[in-house]
Structure 1
Amino acid sequence: MEPLTIIQLSDTHLQPEGQLLHGTIDSWQRTEQALEAVAYLEPDAIVVTGDIADRGSPIHERAAELFNRTQRVLDCPVISVPGNHDPLGTVGESFNTRRLSTGPRPADTVHEVHGLRIIGLDSGGFQLAQGNLECEQLDWLSMLLAAPAPRGSLLLLHHPPVEATNEARAGRGLQNPMELAAITAGSDIRAILCGHYHQASTSQLVNTPVFMAPAVSYNMNPFAPTQTVAEPAAAFNVINVGAKTVDAFAASSDQCFALNESPALPAPVKSSQTSN
């Protein structure tokens, strides 16, 4: 059984047209670079783990168009959950158009990718320090996991259910991680994929691996806890799901573009929108 390639994008922090993130970062350009780059990796699915917008900016319909266009061109699902910068309900019907079912919140979804179940949970937290999963969401997740999937499950949420190693993000993860752990421990969940901390890292929730993606927009310098780093390339995680293993590593758009002359690679996706 060939491993599946899941690309994890996170924290795009998309701005209204004509505005730059922190006055210097073109977050639309970064996001489009990431989507173009991952085309070369022939993903089986692309997941977006929250903070699609920056500070509630009304960009979600345009973002959904970009993700849906990518989904059509690459013929793989683009699966999104909101973050604490995305108001409740903004990741709704126009996103996750290949979902099999929807849970208590519009962004609570189930997808199936070649036998791998991908479950998205909206951890909320808009304008709050922490995220939270409500009882109805946890009950829904428990019901889903009562029947294992052929290749197991991945769980997506924005707020990591583990503490940050960066002081600037301390105390900003999931508010009720052990309630989630009571459900995931012993289930078929093979890994939890999160964003929010703007830094690639790994941890465990009891016995479940937690992979935190670098941000597409900008990242934190782990050696200078209050300093942000605006790299010239968009960063993302590459998750390889095998029969018995799940591996993850961080990559960037410039690394993928370095291979773009290979004739074996598919054409990158091109956005019809102009980045601002």
Structure 2
Amino acid sequence: ILAALSFFATGSTQTNLGDNFVLGLSQAMTSRSIKEVTDSMTEHLASRHIRFPNTANEINRIKEGFFLKHRIRGVVGCIDCTHVPILAPAEADEDHPPIVYYNRKGYYSLNVQLVNLLVNMKILAANSQSPSSVHDSAIWAASIIRTNVERTFRKGNNIWLMGALLHICRNAQPGTPEARYTLRHSQTRNVIEKCNGLLKMRFRCLSKQLLYHPIRVGKIIYAAVVLHNLAIDFNLNDLNDEEPLIIDNDENVPNIHNNHDVLNEGSRVRANFIRRYF
């Protein structure tokens, strides 16, 4: 367990961890420890510690907390994606061709979708299996969370997720509802980036190239989210206050600019949101 936790926290290679005289484990034993601890957390702890609200009381409590802190009504969380570097899959891997993991910044990665609870920076949902070539909007379209949010909305419970997909109003005139919305959106966006940065700062393995198969990397990311939420639940102050917080600004922009139907629908939803809450 200590070997796995050390790996999550530092991102050190299995060889370096195996050479650690305190742990006293071989490289093979270190590798097995990381795998077993990761699998155990994803199989037995994830469902308890990564939970999107699904009852009326949970949803209303989160919406109230978000409004008190950010002055935006109806929001239960904030959604964004971030890249986690990985080793290029083998060319012979037909199910995971390297090209689909090569991102626009010039390295191989997974595009990880996170839904954050900005009140305390806890993560409510995570999707850690998508290649970097999959756009944020496509990940969201296939998300179980999307289905749950839409179902709740149809039942008459106003529920929103803030994030990159609900864009700001450019050139909004000062003093208008559009300007107030844009200011709040920009402030919220900054906090989202801090949330993702906190996760990567707390677990340095997510900032370094993970030398594993993409499926294994996805499990490592999910396990790190479990540990992140546990740290918040137990109020663990495990970060150096003097160390600046990483601001995660991967700026994953959905590839929807040529889809006029999507753009028009997004503008309509945004206009209704502004009219109702600003």
Same fold (TM over 0.5): no
TM-score by length of 1: 0.25
Q: From the two aligned structures, give the one with the greater strand fraction.
A: 1
TM-score by length of 2: 0.25
Give the greater-gyration-radius structure (CA): 2
Q: From the two aligned structures, give the one with the greater helix fraction.
A: 2
